[in-house]
Structure 1
Amino acid sequence: MSHVGSSARMTAIVCHGPKDYRVEEVSRPEPGDREVVLKIVACGICASDCKCWSGARMFWAGQTPWVKPPVIPGHEFFGIVESLGTNAEEHFGVKAGDRVIAEQIVPCDKCRYCREGKYWMCEVHNIFGFQRQVADGGMAEYMRLPPTSRVHIIPESISLDDAAIIEPLACAIHTVQRGDIQLADVVVIAGAGPLGLMMAQVARLKTPKKLVVIDLEDQRLELARKFGADITINPKQQDPIEVVRELTGGYGCDVYIETTGVPAGVTQGLEIIRKLGRFVEFSVFGEETSADWSIIGDRKELDVRGAHLGPYCYPIAIDLLERGLVTSKGIVTHRYGLEDWDTAVRKAYGTESIKVLMQPGFKAEGQSISR
């Protein structure tokens, strides 16, 4: 475990099990050969972190849970290079004082997928903040980056909040790319959480014919319109299927991106999409989803595509943020110090926040950020 073997101490959030996350003083990590230690600036709370905390079945099922506690959570982090192990400066191309981010996955660099350049589908599949044997996550004052980490430098011109959304933005970019959006397409994004709102910004850059965003929260739909959505739909007020069919002459949308993380988002998408359409699934689900698979084949011959992580998209995310083409404004809504984890995770689990950041040393409890 990365925080073993150091005499120096630090504050960290430690996951011991479902709803058993504790603020603890632990050993501060030290870099080994070709390793870097970061001083964490910020770490976002992801929907997967919330589902892990709540004990969702996908994280804790069976005798060999994917999450292996005790572990320091957090994969939406960035920080400043604090110390470098032997050969680390040459290995990563970074130096002390650089602002950097590491991709969320820690590839093995040995399996079939890693050897083929598809490192994001690594068979071992260790991700920061979930499996303790490789590396802890970023909800701490410091964290260690192992030798196989994919590290990127963040320009100083990028603000703290923008830097904090690079990880989910990279995922959003990959998802939109999987949709293969064309100029004449009607695109529907289901879910206007942090990822959906970033996808809306990226999808708008593809200039589709119409961009539609669906969500149950009017405040989030208002933000989606600011980010370029042509039409927003609240299912509590309108039937999304009827609205989209009317918009498309009865056919349905060309591309449907599912990012709600609930079963209804899937079944809705299978109905709302046209024949020969492209259905992109990104979400992390806390429960199993059932659907009529005959829709996929016999009725519509859909192209169903998954989207996982943000491979090769971090440099794109950094560039879009640096050019001001994508923003965190309105998405980052709350920030907390590590000591306020219990409040922060409950805030992140609710609908009044969008993106909650954990910032070591932040003192104002849960300061809400003006939208």
Structure 2
Amino acid sequence: MVEIPQKMQAVICHGPENYQLAEVDVPTPGPGEALVKVDAVGICASDLKCYHGAAKFWGDDNRPAWAETEVIPGHEFVGTVVQLDDAAAERWGVAVGDRVTSEQIVPCWKCRYCLRGEYWMCGPHDLYGFKRRTPGAMAEYMVYSADALVHQVPKELPPAHAAFVEPLSCAMHAVERAKLTFDDVVVVAGCGPIGLGMIAGAKSKNPRMVIALDSIPRKLELARKCGADLAINIAEEDAVAKVKELTDGYGADVYLEGTGHPAAVPQGLNLLRKLGTYVEYGVFGSDVTVDWSIISDDKELDVLGAHLGPHCWPAALQLLASGALPMDEIVTHQLPLAEFQKGLDLVGSGAESIKVSLIP
């Protein structure tokens, strides 16, 4: 029998730039749910946008669209089951003591998208760490909802490495959207957590070449270790000209955008060949304006979006377990829960960290 305390430490979101560590009650799982002791939780760029009160996350009256106040943040995590009932154990195939993760979205399983198997686009969905009904993982304990998608995690993976399964699954979904072929030249914009995952995922498909773009040398070196055949520093070199030089003037076959920077959009449209494929994963903080005639009249491009990591979690866990990714270098910072503010600041600075994790 696992002894469960009555109180725990948790980060509470009280509004933009007002997150506080507090002692709260350990949650009690309901029917079909599981109580999980959090082993690690990553800090995502979307966590940072929410923290700063980005318009996409917060309404004018502080009643946000995605992140509600008085909620515990954290949507990329891994933990150990400490309590669950028979229904949860049977549904997920897990037991007390198992290391588990849950997909960040909790679907309703009743809307048009869920009924068509497109659960990651569920209309009335919940998200861990953004809504009060599904508190997140910046706490010592959390509850996995009865409607959640739960995956077992190899125990030999260090907790902070295992928590990387969430951004890695997202990156791999973007790669799947591109439908890569062996002859493709693939360009990945951005060598942060998502971009590095895109590089590793694209490389596993064995295209002709994977090219990484970034302006930070340290990240470009990591991109090479994740499988990039070529890493271009966009602060020193014209990426569009270089890619065209490598492709007899035609341009790349596929462009995967993982930065959320407005300049990355025209960059991608310009370096793609005619009939090329553009996949957008980045989340932008402001509107982006481009010449849409490039997409239509000039090149007849396929422009695709990618959201979350549906059906990619088992493959992402397998990739992590394989040791193919330099996780000791990707997970640059592991901090105690009490240092959550330092973690947010590290993610915000960009240059000092790749992936920052909290260890409750």
**Any residues of structure 2 matched to 1:310-349 within 5 Å, and which?**
310-349=309-348
* Structure 1: runs of 5+ lacking an equivalent: 1-5, 361-371
Check the 8 A contact 1:58/1:287 in 2, yes or no.
no
Could you tell me how far apart the structure 1 residues matched to 2:5 and 2:287 are? 45
- Please say if residues 42 and 77 of structure 2, whose CA atoms lie closer than 8 Å, have aligned partners that are also in contact: yes
Shift of 1:297: 1.1
- SS for the counterpart of 1:161 is helix
Equivalent in the alignment of 1:37: 35
Which stretch shifts more, 75-84 or 319-328? 319-328
SS in 2 for 1:298: coil
Deviation (angstroms), 1:323: 2.5
Q: How far is 1:146 from its partner? A: 1.0
For residue 58 of structure 2, what is the amino acid of its counterpart?
Answer: W
Per-residue CA deviations over 1:13-38 (Å, capped at 9, x if unaligned) read: 01111111111111110111000010
Deviation at 1:322, TM superposition (A): 2.1
CA contact (8 A) 1:56 1:287 kept: no
CA distance in 1: counterparts of 2:82 and 2:290, whole angstroms: 49
Q: Does the CA-based 8 Å contact 2:225-2:325 persist in structure 1?
A: no
What is the alpha-carbon distance in structure 2 between the residues aligned to residue 161 and residue 13 of structure 1? 18
Runs of 4+ in 1 over 4 A off after TM superposition: none
TM-fit CA distance, 1:186 = 0.7
2:281 aligns to what?
A: 282
Instruction: State the Cα distance separating 1:157 from its structure 2 match.
Output: 2.8
Q: Assess if the C-alpha contact under 8 Å between 1:33 and 1:86 holds in 2.
A: no
Aligned to 1:76: 76
Partner of residue 12, structure 1: 10
Identity %: 49
Aligned to 1:154: 153
Match of 1:51 among 49, 52, 60: 49
Give how far 1:135 is off. 0.8
TM-score for the superposition, normalised by structure 1:
0.92
- CA deviation after TM superposition for structure 1 residue 86, in Å: 5.6
1:359 aligns with 2:356: no
Instruction: Give the distance between the partners of 1:61 and 1:209, measured in 2 at CA.
Output: 45
What residue number does 2:112 align with?
112
Q: How high is the TM-score relative to the length of structure 2?
A: 0.95
Answer whether contact 1:35 1:86 (CA < 8 A) is retained.
no
Q: Distance in 2 between matches of 1:216 and 1:57?
A: 27
- 1:219 corresponds to 2:218: yes
RMSD: 1.4
| Number of positions where the alignment pairs a residue of Structure 1 with one of Structure 2 | 354
**Structure 2 residue aligned with 1:26:** 24
SS at match of 2:297: helix
Q: Contact 1:191 / 1:215 at 8 angstroms: preserved in 2?
A: yes
Q: CA deviation at 1:326?
A: 3.5
1:174 and 2:207 matched: no
Match of 1:92 in 2: 92
